[in-house]
Amino acid sequence: MSSNSLCIPLVGVEKSKFYLRRDVELLLNHIDISITEDLLSLYDIDWKMLQSKNIKCNFTLVDHNALASKAYNHINYNNLDELIIEILDHHEGIQHTYLLTSSSSYLLTYLDMNQYNHIASSNRLIGYDSIKKTPTVASTCTIISEKISLESNQLNPYYDDIRYLLTGVIGLDTLNMDAGIKKGTPRDNDAYNYCSNYMHSPPDKYIHRDKLYKILSQAKNDREFWRSLIVADAVALDYKVFPVSKNRNIGISAMLLPLQEFLTHDSMKELLSYMNNEGLVLYAIMTSYNNAESRSSSDSADTNSLTETLKKQVFTSLITILRLTEILTYSLIGEGNIHSGQ
């Protein structure tokens, strides 16, 4: 990157939806960043004006390895694919191999959707093991921290704030490296330790990572907050889209509500509209939730009743989701207070 280049982080959702990420808002507030005043959405940018002035833009995809069709259509730059120069992600796709450093203990095999073949392997960092078919990191922030650790200017005092932000997200993504749940990987653990070792700040400037995880987790998992959301916001809060072809996508949403609670919404028909707007040919909803509030029977036992609920309330166009849901299983993780549904 040239010395006169400007690097701007952009959020991939509309600013009107920022409020949904209460955990992110809390974390940023800890270092005096306002989620509404200091962050930019890519939908805030007048891309047509920039292109008319021949202003060149390059893009790094973070926590995605393919630009969502909605974002793609909004930016609408000429030769947009060629302007994507880097990918940092941990989702499955097509295999690429890259040795992070000559002294690294990690020989990393990365995968992506293979949409941007011009990107060199050194800029295509995707934490997924193609042989074992498992992610090598639970958090894309682990990959970011690995890059930061190699930079010569890491003595910049602002790096402690950056490390603090990375610590918060890695903690959430790995469930604080809980040994019983085993969601985090050795790479996540190394990154978690590196990021929480603040070099330039007094000991009391930042909240200890265990307490920080508890605060952020409570904000993210607040059942009453999830119950208050309309359907469109609930499914959009943690949503991934995987392009199949032009204007045809596969979508996956993760929610922190029991599936049977979500299906009690009077506005379930909104899902049909959501699928149409997103161009989804296949859509899955995954749920995970803390079960301390309710000791109901397992979700798998209710599959038939859920099927009938969807049939009655959302019409047959969502049967595809239904059949996908029926063949997947629900499993108990840890000591029995947390259920996850895939």
Tokens of 338: 């947390």
**Residue scoring higher pLDDT (257 or 229):** 229
- As a whole number, mean pLDDT of residues 123-143 equals 89
Least confident residue range of 35-44, 150-159, 187-196: 150-159
In which band, very low, low, confident or very high, does the pLDDT at 266 lie, cut at 50, 70 and 90? low
Least confident residue range of 13-17, 165-169, 201-205, 313-317: 313-317
- As a whole number, mean pLDDT of residues 88-107 equals 54
Classify residue 106: in a domain, yes or no.
Answer: yes
Tell me what pLDDT residue 114 has. Answer: 56
Q: How much of the chain exceeds pLDDT 70, in percent?
A: 73
Tell me what pLDDT residue 253 has. Answer: 85
Do residues 116 and 252 both lie within one domain?
no
Tokens of 266: 């009077």
Tell me what pLDDT residue 327 has. Answer: 37
Tell me what pLDDT residue 208 has. Answer: 94
Distance separating alpha carbons of residues 284 and 272, to the nearest angstrom = 13
Tell me what pLDDT residue 168 has. Answer: 97
Do residues 122 and 207 both lie within one domain?
yes
> What is the chain's mean pLDDT, rounded?
76
- As a whole number, mean pLDDT of residues 287-301 equals 50
Tell me what pLDDT residue 9 has. Answer: 93
Classify residue 5: in a domain, yes or no.
Answer: no
Q: 281 Cβ partners below 8 Å, 6+ apart?
A: 244, 248, 249, 250, 320
Do residues 214 and 70 both lie within one domain?
yes
**Residue scoring higher pLDDT (307 or 179):** 179
Q: Residue 75's closest CA among 44, 40, 116, 33? A: 44
CATH no. for residue 331? 3.10.310
Tell me what pLDDT residue 293 has. Answer: 52
Classify residue 4: in a domain, yes or no.
Answer: no
Most trustworthy range by pLDDT among 10-19, 119-128, 290-299: 10-19
Tell me what pLDDT residue 221 has. Answer: 86
Do residues 96 and 16 both lie within one domain?
yes
Do residues 193 and 233 both lie within one domain?
no
Do residues 240 and 336 both lie within one domain?
yes
Query: What dihedral do alpha carbons 65, 169, 189, 331 form, nearest 10°?
Result: -80
Classify residue 241: in a domain, yes or no.
Answer: yes
Which among 164, 186, 218 is the end of a domain? 218
Is a pLDDT exceeding 50 seen at residue 72?
yes
Do residues 196 and 234 both lie within one domain?
no
Classify residue 2: in a domain, yes or no.
Answer: no
Do residues 60 and 162 both lie within one domain?
yes
**Residue scoring higher pLDDT (5 or 321):** 5
Classify residue 1: in a domain, yes or no.
Answer: no
- As a whole number, mean pLDDT of residues 301-319 equals 37
Classify residue 287: in a domain, yes or no.
Answer: yes
- As a whole number, mean pLDDT of residues 204-220 equals 93
Residues 148 and 162 sit within 8 Å (Cβ to Cβ): yes
Domain enclosing residue 263, as ranges:
224-341
Going across the sheet that includes 239-245, the strands are 239-245, 248-255, 280-290, 338-341, 330-333
In which band, very low, low, confident or very high, does the pLDDT at 275 lie, cut at 50, 70 and 90? confident
Do residues 196 and 245 both lie within one domain?
no
CATH no. for residue 125? 3.90.1640.10
Which among 189, 218, 247 is the end of a domain? 218
Do residues 214 and 276 both lie within one domain?
no
Do residues 270 and 303 both lie within one domain?
yes
Distance separating alpha carbons of residues 257 and 161, to the nearest angstrom = 32
Q: Quote the number of domains for the chain.
A: 2
Q: What pTM does this model have?
A: 0.75
Which among 166, 196, 218 is the end of a domain? 218
Do residues 238 and 274 both lie within one domain?
yes
- As a whole number, mean pLDDT of residues 230-243 equals 83
**Residue scoring higher pLDDT (123 or 269):** 123
